[in-house]
Amino acid sequence: MSTTLTTTAGQREAVPARPAYRVTGRRVLRAEWAKLWSLRSTWITLGLGLLFLVAFGLIAATRYRSGIGSGRMDRDFARSTAVSLSLFGTNFAQLALGVLGVLVTAGEYSTGVIRSTMAAVPRRLPVLWSKAAVFGVVALVLGTSGAFVAFVFGSRIVSGTPAALGLSHSGVVRSLLGAGLYLGLVAVIGIALGALLRSVAGGISVLVATLMLIPGLVTLLPSSWQSDFSPYLPSNAGKAMFALTQDSGTLSPTSGLLVFLGWTVLALAGAAYRLVRSDV
């Protein structure tokens, strides 16, 4: 009997101790990467974003080509360039990427998955930074790739017209890279709004209002007020990032980037504050 107890105790002592689990930044990033690509909505929405960016750019270029000699083209549209035509779909792609950003964070609150996430990462903030970094980079790569694809094919469509431009022309590459960066930052803002509001409907509503409705409402203000506020709105500052030329009432690409970065940081700061101060 004593021999059996001694043997059992020896076996227990021989069992190696389970290594302690450590939460590191790399592991949190890998977890968020896996969660992002495990959702069917990710593939569908990213596909729609790329489709909007490329397809609407080619449609705009085709419409310009068919109407350039008709004399019935709108004056502003007639002054378009291959860059502005190719990036026409940016307005639609930003909605797809921004909405997906809201779903990435607010969707976890609606399903209750956020409890498991915060139990695995008690410090909380690394979750927000990892979500923003992972999806921001994905949107940046997709937006930049789509912008270059739309331009390559769109410039061929408008070849031989006043809008024709090539990659070697001054400012073209900068504009295409700026469009990709803009879409990446829109995705980060979507992540922040989802974490801040914790509601899919609320996050999408604020995103759409910020990017599309408010700029339209500002046009109803007196012209003197418009010149003071309009250039600093998120959407207008973002458009200045990838505009090939600037008007007197718009920001320069660098200034537009700084202003839009400021809006992005502000949204992330609000999301981080609520994440730390309030319960899940």
The pLDDT of residue 77 is 76
Query: CA dihedral in degrees (147, 149, 153, 155; nearest 10)?
Result: 40
Q: Report how far apart the first and last C-alpha atoms of the chain are (Å, whole number).
A: 53
Helices and strands of the chain, counted as H and E runs: 14, 0
Task: Specify the pTM.
Answer: 0.89
The pLDDT of residue 218 is 83
Q: pLDDT means per 10 residues in the chain (280 residues)?
A: 46 51 82 91 94 95 83 76 94 95 92 86 89 96 96 93 90 95 97 95 95 86 78 92 85 94 97 87
Asked whether 184 and 264 are in contact (CB, 8 A), the reply is no
The DSSP code for 211 is I
What CA–CA distance (Å, rounded) separates 257 from 178?
Answer: 8
Instruction: Write down the domain spans for the chain.
Output: 24-277
The pLDDT of residue 247 is 81
What sign does the dihedral 189-180-254-78 (CA atoms) show?
negative
The pLDDT of residue 10 is 47
The pLDDT of residue 7 is 47
Amino acid sitting at position 265: V
Return the closest-CA partner of residue 241 out of 194, 190, 138, 171: 171
Asked whether 101 and 186 are in contact (CB, 8 A), the reply is yes
Residues in the chain: 280
The pLDDT of residue 71 is 66
Say how far residue 73 (Cα) sits from the centre of its chain: 33
The pLDDT of residue 169 is 92
